[in-house]
Chains A and B, each alone.
Chain A
Amino acid sequence: MSTSLANAPLEIRAIGLPLERIEGRAKVTGTAPYAYEQTVADPLYLHPVQATIARGKIASIDSAAAKALPGVVAIITHENAPRLASDKDKELWVLQSDAVGFRGQFIGAVIAQTPEVARQAASLVRVTYAEQPHEAELRADRSDLYAPKQVNPDYPTDTDEGDVEAALKAAAVTIDQTYSTPWENNNPMEPHTTVATWGDGKLTLYDSTQGAHSVRTMLAPLFGLKPEQMRVIAPHVGGGFGSKGTPHAHDVLAGLAAQAVPGRPVKLALTRQQMFSLAGYRTPTIQHFRLGADREGRLTAIVHEVIEQTSRIKEFAEQTAVPTRLLYASPNRRTSHRLAALDVPVPSWMRAPGETPGVCGNEMAMDELAVACGLDPIELRIRNDPPVDPESGKPWSGRNLVGCLREGARRFGWDQRDPAPRSRERDGWLVGLGVASSTYPRYAMPGSVASIRYGADRRYAVRIGAADIGTGTWTALTQIAADALGCPVEAIRMEIGDTDQPNATVEGGSSGITSWGTTIVAAARAFRAEHGDAPREGAEASAGMPENPDEKRFAMHSFGAQFAEVRVNVDTGEIRVPRMLGVFSVGRIINPRTARSQFIGGMTMGLSMALHEESVMDPRFGHVVTQDRRAPADARRAGPALEPDGFARDRRDRHCRRGGGDRQRRLARHRNPRAPPADHAGQGPVLSANTATRSSVIGRLRAARPASDNS
Chain B
Amino acid sequence: MNPFAYERASNAAGAVAAVAGHPGAAFLGGGTNLVDHMRLGVASPDLLVDITKLPFDRVEELPSGGVRIGAGVRNSDLAADQLIRSRYPMLSQALLSGASGQLRNLATTGGNLLQRTRCVYFQDVTTPCNKREPGTGCSAIGGYTRYHAILGASEHCVAVHPSDMAVAMVALDATVVVLGRLGERRVKLVEFHRLPGDDPWQDTVLGHGELIVAVELPALPFATRSAYRKVRDRASFAFALVSVAAALDVEGGTVRDARVALGGVAHKPWRATQAEAALRGAPATAESFRRAADAELAAARPLDGNAYKIPMVRNTMVAVLRDLSAEATP
Contact = CB atoms under 8 A, between A and B. Distances in A.
Interface of A: 50, 52, 103, 116, 119-120, 123, 273, 428, 571-574, 576, 611-612, 616, 618, 620-621, 623, 625-630, 637-638, 640-641, 707-711
A628 B234 CA distance: 15
A612 B239 CA distance: 13
B84 to A, nearest CB: 14
Interface of B: 1-3, 40-41, 93-94, 96-97, 118, 120-121, 123-124, 126-127, 139, 142-144, 147, 228-239, 312, 315-316, 318-319
B315 A571 contact: yes
B299 to A, nearest CB: 22
Interface centre among B97, B123, B124, B229 (most CB of A within 10 A): B124
A630 B319 contact: no
A640 B230 contact: no
Given A571-B315, A572-B316, A627 B236 contact: no
Contacts of A640: 234-237
29 contacts: A52-B126, A103-B126, A120-B2, A571-B316, A571-B318, A571-B319, A572-B312, A574-B233, A611-B233, A618-B127, A618-B143, A618-B144, A620-B142, A621-B127, A623-B126, A627-B120, A627-B124, A628-B120, A629-B237, A630-B120, A630-B239, A641-B234, A641-B236, A707-B235, A708-B235, A710-B236, A711-B93, A711-B94, A711-B230
A648 B120 CA distance: 42
Interface centre among A52, A611, A618 (most CB of B within 10 A): A618
Contacts of B229: 572, 709
B235 A709 contact: yes
Nearest to B319: A571
A4 to B, nearest CB: 58
A572 B143 contact: no
Contacts, number: 92
B106 to A, nearest CB: 16
Nearest to A573: B312
Contacts of B236: 640-641, 710
A673 B126 CA distance: 49
A409 B312 CA distance: 35
A610 to B, nearest CB: 12
Q: Is the interface of B mostly helix, strand, loop or mixed?
A: loop
Nearest to A616: B144
Contact of B319 (A103, A119, A572, A629): A572
B233 to A, nearest CB: 6
A621 B126 CA distance: 9
A637 B234 contact: yes
B263 to A, nearest CB: 13
Given A116-B3, A640-B236, A641-B236, A572 B120 contact: no
Contacts of A119: 1
> Which 4 residue pairs of A and B lie closest in terms of their CB atoms, listed nearest first?
A571-B319, A640-B236, A711-B97, A641-B235
Given A571-B318, A572-B316, A625 B239 contact: no
A579 B24 CA distance: 51
B57 to A, nearest CB: 24
B318 A709 contact: no
Contacts of A707: 235
B144 A625 contact: yes
A637 B237 CA distance: 9
Contacts of B94: 711
A103 B127 CA distance: 11
A572 B231 contact: yes
Given A627-B120, A628-B120, A628-B123, A574 B231 contact: yes
Contacts of A708: 235
A629 B238 CA distance: 8
Nearest to B121: A625
A120 B3 contact: yes
A572 B232 CA distance: 9
A123 B41 contact: yes
Contacts of B123: 627-628
Given A574-B231, A620-B143, A710-B235, A120 B124 contact: no
Given A618-B127, A628-B118, A709-B235, 20 more contacts: A50-B126, A52-B126, A103-B126, A116-B3, A273-B40, A571-B319, A574-B232, A612-B233, A625-B124, A627-B123, A629-B237, A630-B118, A641-B235, A707-B235, A709-B97, A709-B230, A710-B96, A710-B236, A711-B93, A711-B96
Contacts of B319: 428, 571-572
Nearest to B126: A52
A356 B132 CA distance: 39
A616 B145 CA distance: 11
A30 to B, nearest CB: 18
Given A52-B126, A626-B144, A120 B1 contact: yes
A637 B40 CA distance: 21
A574 B232 CA distance: 7
Nearest to B79: A711
Contact of B234 (A571, A612, A711): A612
A119 B3 CA distance: 11
Contacts of A103: 126
Nearest to B97: A711
Contacts of A616: 120, 144
A572 B97 contact: no
A428 B231 CA distance: 14
Contacts of B235: 576, 640-641, 707-710
B37 to A, nearest CB: 12
Nearest to B305: A616
B237 A572 contact: no
Nearest to A51: B126
Nearest to A641: B235
A428 B315 CA distance: 12
Contacts of B40: 273
B45 to A, nearest CB: 14
A497 B296 CA distance: 62
Nearest to A271: B39
B223 to A, nearest CB: 17
A638 B121 CA distance: 24
A618 B237 CA distance: 24
Contacts of A52: 126
Nearest to A119: B1
Nearest to A627: B124
B133 to A, nearest CB: 14
B186 to A, nearest CB: 30
Contacts of B127: 618, 621, 625
A709 B147 CA distance: 19
Contacts of B147: 630
Nearest to B123: A628
Nearest to B146: A616
Contacts of A618: 127, 139, 143-144
A310 B148 CA distance: 31
A530 to B, nearest CB: 56
Nearest to B100: A640
A426 to B, nearest CB: 16
Contacts of B96: 710-711
Contacts of B318: 571
A616 B304 CA distance: 15
Contacts of A638: 234
A625 B97 contact: no
A49 to B, nearest CB: 12
A117 B239 CA distance: 32
Nearest to A611: B233
Contacts of A637: 234
Nearest to B98: A711
Nearest to B242: A572
B1 to A, nearest CB: 5
Nearest to B233: A612
Nearest to B95: A711
A612 B233 CA distance: 7
Nearest to A576: B235
A708 B236 CA distance: 10
Nearest to A104: B126
Contacts of B2: 120
Contacts of A630: 118, 120, 147, 238-239
